[in-house]
Amino acid sequence: MEPGFILFDNKTPVESQVLIPAKERIEIDWDNVNRLVEEN
């Protein structure tokens, strides 16, 4: 399964699906990192 935001179906894991595929980036998006740190 490719990386990203995955909807996991606990009853039938084979039917789990990637809703939002991940994008590979060379540089760190510090604005998003800081936002996630503040929210969590």
pLDDT at 28: 92
pLDDT of residue 1: 56
**Helix (DSSP H) and strand (DSSP E) numbers for the chain:** 1, 2
Residue 40 exposure: Cα atoms within 13 Å on the Cβ side? 6
Per the structure, the count of domains in the chain is: 1
1-38 pLDDT, tens digit each: 567 888 888 888 788 888 888 888 889 999 999 999 99
What is residue 39's three-state secondary structure? helix
Provide the domain limits for residue 26: 4-39
pTM of the predicted model as reported, rounded to 2 decimal places: 0.42
pLDDT at 30: 94
| Predicted local distance difference test score (pLDDT) of residue 12 | 84
User: What pLDDT is recorded for position 27?
Assistant: 94
